[in-house]
Structure 1
Amino acid sequence: MTTTPTSRVRCDVAVVGESLIDIVVAADGTRRECVGGGPATLARGLGRLGMATTLLTTFGADPHGRAIDQELSRCGVRVIQAGRPAARTSTTITHLDRPGADAVDLRWDLAHTDVPACAHLHVGSLAVVRAPGAEDVARLVSCQDPDTTISYDVTVRPSVMGPRDTAIARIDEMISRSDIVKLSDADLAWLRPGERRGDGIRCLMSRGPAILVVTHGAAGAMGYTRSGSVRVRGHRVDVADAAEWGDTFMAGLLHALTGRDLLARGTDRRRLRTIGLDDLRGILRDANLGAARAITPACVPPAHIDALAAAG
């Protein structure tokens, strides 16, 4: 059930960002609709993994909005309408026979920035770079209690992010404020064009995160700390697209860190900055397993999965 903003309810994780409906159109015109948006998908994954989760988001009082509210509530996620009342819910339309021709109708703002007391705050996706809510997200993060750990899931969608220079500045600033950062290899290439991967990684790590995770689709993921890096292999699962797996992997990552008391309120944040590579390898393996448990059934026929994953 959607609630009004309050700062008196405790939760383990508060997630801030957009929620929308992904509409996938097959070559024969068949349409399938799924609850989407990186932050909403992450929150749903955390709920499925049994974590107390609150999502601050925006959607309309229409059938799509009700579908989002019902799906998140079904997964145990507490939803706070943090934006101004929207006339309709955000959507993306993907035509499987026309790769790259997605139509995005995104409505995002953050009129209310009262975050329930939480052990961990996660921000992600387009909410960090999309005006008018991006500046509110940045302010919300900057005023968090020093004991609250922060994570950021970078998602690059150039067609809806606004001017490139502004988007990169906002992404870089959020990385500098975050303890844990995840992005895909495609996101990294967009952020640091023309650079070798190692140079791009060093640049992002120099901004301050304790843990940086770069996902590589079916090839798995790489985790980086000040002391080095580790690689874990991926799992083959039926998903609507690679982005859904990435969002749910982030849920698995937060779940694995929480299980080791690395995100608990009162925990010394320096523990994240001194984590050993063997521990990080175990965390990433558990993140993969958690994501496989939390993933939703595929919204497109399995025959399309490999092509979509390769593109992602």
Structure 2
Amino acid sequence: MILCAGESLIDMVPENGTFRPLAGGAVYNTTVALGRLGEDVAYLWPISRDSFGEMLLAPLNEAGINIDLCPRTDRLTTLALVTLDQGEAVYSFYDEGSAGRMLSPDDIPALPDHITAIFAGGISLVPDPCGAAIERLIEQNHTKLPVFLDPNIRPFFIQDAPAFRARLNRIIPQCDIVKLSSDDLAWLYPDLDAPEAAQKVLQMGPRIVLQTGGSAGSHAHWAGETVTAPAIRTTVADTIGAGDTFNAGVLASLRRQGVLGKEALAGISGEQIKAALTLGAQAAAVTVSRAGANPPWQHEMPGN
């Protein structure tokens, strides 16, 4: 069972002069996408007992997600208020003292034996105490479980860039797979082009660094020759949740191929990586073809 650990929140999206609440959060989206793809998946993140918490629970339950590791709390759900400035989305976060923000390192449990891999990342890595909690989760388990990290860097959310860079410098060497968008790589290494930046990250210790670029497709940097998979052509409604769904497709493919394990990843082939990138692209294409973070169910995937 794959454990996803990281933020869930409510996006307050402008609609007809008011705001429409939508369940979201990068790690939450990947969790739901994995469940819809038919994977065994568990979620670790505090969920409020408020009405927004109930809104977050519904898609998790519908997708068959195990929420045994989700503590319930009376603290409020994080809200992300989205406004538009000349067509560009601008976010304001209502996060102080929220259910997720206050997850502490002492709240991280010993993981049950049925957990076989960890996916983590998102803005949950940035503030404390929750950032320290996710760091603790990885630190305690990376020697026995494969870790897939997607930092999903959002510069507007980072108040202390040196501290966040230091956290990534501690976490990335403990990870097996790190996924970074072109924008992420530009933030990490502004003086390098994306492939050079990805190689820098690879030198920190991961077995695979995935570089994504939307319509430009994806690239996997590893011990062999760089593996590339094109984006799937489709009519784009919006790109919300595309990268999160890509992550789910990659994880699902690796698990189905039997290479989502510490030893198995050490012997992975270029063909197996290509298959994972391809499933990720196929899943993401469905998500971008419809409004919002609405990842595909397995029966909606090509070949089903």
Report the TM-score range of the alignment, normalised by the length of the smaller protein.
Answer: 0.7 to 0.9
Partner of 2:4: 15
CA contact (8 A) 1:47 1:77 kept: yes
1:138-153 map, 5 Å:
138-144=135-141, 146-153=143-150
Mapped pair 1:276 → 2:276: no
**If the length of structure 2 is used for normalisation, what is the TM-score?**
0.85
Percentage of identical aligned residues: 27
CA contact (8 A) 1:225 1:273 kept: no
Partner of 1:136: 133
Partner of 1:67: 55
* CA displacement, residues 147-175 of structure 1 (integer Å, 9 cap, x when unaligned): 31111012111222230001111122221
Taking the aligned partners of 2:158 and 2:282, their CA distance within structure 1 comes to 32
- 1:109/1:242 CA distance change after superposition, 3 Å: farther
Taking the aligned partners of 1:198 and 1:292, their CA distance within structure 2 comes to 23
Partner of 2:299: none
| 210-219 vs 281-290, which moves further | 281-290
Runs (5+) with no aligned partner, structure 2:
294-304
Partner of 1:34: 22
Partner of 1:258: 255
Q: 1:102 aligns with which of 83, 91, 96?
A: 91
Partner of 1:24: 13
Runs (5+) with no aligned partner, structure 1:
1-11, 301-312
Taking the aligned partners of 1:278 and 1:292, their CA distance within structure 2 comes to 21
- 1:175/1:160 CA distance change after superposition, 3 Å: same
Mapped pair 1:176 → 2:173: yes
Partner of 2:278: 285
* CA RMSD in angstroms, aligned pairs only: 2.4
CA contact (8 A) 2:242 2:287 kept: no
Paired residue total: 284
Partner of 1:221: 218
Taking the aligned partners of 1:214 and 1:52, their CA distance within structure 2 comes to 26
* CA displacement, residues 221-246 of structure 1 (integer Å, 9 cap, x when unaligned): 11111112122111245777535000
Partner of 1:298: 291
Taking the aligned partners of 1:299 and 1:286, their CA distance within structure 2 comes to 20
Kindly provide the amino acid, as one letter, of the partner of residue 108 in structure 2.
Answer: T
Mapped pair 1:160 → 2:157: yes
- 1:94/1:240 CA distance change after superposition, 3 Å: farther
1:79-98 map, 5 Å:
79-80=67-68, 82=70, 85-98=73-86
- 1:90/1:80 CA distance change after superposition, 3 Å: farther
| 69-78 vs 235-244, which moves further | 235-244
How far did residue 13 of structure 1 move?
0.7
Partner of 2:302: none
- 1:296/1:254 CA distance change after superposition, 3 Å: farther
Kindly provide the amino acid, as one letter, of the partner of residue 7 in structure 2.
Answer: E
Q: 1:116 aligns with which of 105, 109, 112?
A: 112
Taking the aligned partners of 2:45 and 2:230, their CA distance within structure 1 comes to 32
Taking the aligned partners of 2:71 and 2:234, their CA distance within structure 1 comes to 34
CA contact (8 A) 2:81 2:93 kept: yes
CA contact (8 A) 2:50 2:74 kept: no
Kindly provide the amino acid, as one letter, of the partner of residue 23 in structure 2.
Answer: V
Taking the aligned partners of 1:271 and 1:23, their CA distance within structure 2 comes to 41
How far did residue 145 of structure 1 move?
6.5
Taking the aligned partners of 2:152 and 2:145, their CA distance within structure 1 comes to 23
Kindly provide the amino acid, as one letter, of the partner of residue 143 in structure 2.
Answer: P
* CA displacement, residues 226-271 of structure 1 (integer Å, 9 cap, x when unaligned): 11212211124577753500001100010000011112xxx5x243
**If the length of structure 1 is used for normalisation, what is the TM-score?**
0.83
CA contact (8 A) 1:48 1:294 kept: no
CA contact (8 A) 1:212 1:225 kept: yes
How far did residue 97 of structure 1 move?
4.6
Taking the aligned partners of 1:69 and 1:284, their CA distance within structure 2 comes to 29
How far did residue 177 of structure 1 move?
0.8
Kindly provide the amino acid, as one letter, of the partner of residue 195 in structure 1.
Answer: L
Partner of 1:8: none
Query: Equivalent residue of 2:159, what SS?
Result: coil
